[in-house]
Structure 1
Amino acid sequence: MLQPLKIIIADDHPLFRQALVNTLTTQFDQPMLFEAETVTALDEILTQHQDADLLLLDLNIPNAHGFNTLVNIRNSYPHIGIVVISGQEDKVTVGKAMSFGAAGFIPKSSPVEQMVKAINAVMAGRQWTPPGCEDLSAVTLDSMSSKIASLSPRQHKILMMFADGLLNKQIAYELGLSEATIKAHASAIFLKLGVHTRTQAVIAMSQLYLDKTPLTAAVEEV
Structure 2
Amino acid sequence: MSETLRLLIADDHPMFRAALRYALGEIAPGASIVEVSSQSALEAAIASGEEFDLAMLDLMMPGAMGFSSLVYARGERPELPVVIISSNEHPRTIRRAQQFGAAAFVPKSAPTTMLGEAVKAVLAGDIWFPPQKAERDEHDAQLADKLALLTPQQLRVLMRLADGLLNKQIAYELSLAENTVKIHVTAILRKLGCHSRTQAAVLVKGLSLEDEGADLHGSTTQ
Q: Same fold (TM over 0.5)?
A: yes
2:96 aligned residue: 96
Q: What is the rounded CA distance, in whole Å, between the counterparts of 1:43 and 1:154 in structure 2?
A: 10
Range that drifts further, 57-66 or 185-194: 185-194
What CA RMSD, in Å, does the superposition of the two structures yield over aligned residues?
2.0
* Structure-2-length-normalised TM-score: 0.86
SS at the partner of 1:8?
A: strand
Task: Give the Å deviation of 1:26.
Answer: 2.4
Q: What amino acid does structure 1 have at the position aligned with 2:154?
A: Q
Runs of 4 or more consecutive aligned structure 1 residues displaced over 6 Å after TM superposition? none
For structure 1, the 5+ residue unaligned runs are 213-222
1:65 maps to 2:62: no
Closer/same/farther in 2, CA of residues 19 and 60 from structure 1, 3 Å limit:
same
1:188 aligned residue: 187
Q: 1:141 aligns with which of 138, 142, 146?
A: 138
* Structure-1-length-normalised TM-score: 0.86
Q: What amino acid does structure 1 have at the position aligned with 2:67?
A: F
SS at the partner of 2:7?
A: strand
CA contact (8 A) 1:9 1:34 kept: yes
Q: What is the rounded CA distance, in whole Å, between the counterparts of 1:49 and 1:18 in structure 2?
A: 25
Range that drifts further, 2-11 or 50-59: 2-11
1:124 aligned residue: 124
For structure 2, the 5+ residue unaligned runs are 212-222
1:202 maps to 2:195: no
Provide the aligned length of Structure 1 versus Structure 2.
209
Task: Give the Å deviation of 1:85.
Answer: 0.7
SS at the partner of 1:114?
A: helix
Task: Give the Å deviation of 1:193.
Answer: 2.4
Q: What amino acid does structure 2 have at the position aligned with 1:159?
A: L
1:165 aligned residue: 164
Q: Which has the higher contact order (CA 8 A, sep 6+)?
A: 2
CA contact (8 A) 1:59 1:86 kept: yes
SS at the partner of 1:83?
A: strand
1:31 aligned residue: 31
Q: What is the rounded CA distance, in whole Å, between the counterparts of 1:207 and 1:150 in structure 2?
A: 16
Q: What is the rounded CA distance, in whole Å, between the counterparts of 1:145 and 1:3 in structure 2?
A: 35
Closer/same/farther in 2, CA of residues 35 and 17 from structure 1, 3 Å limit:
same
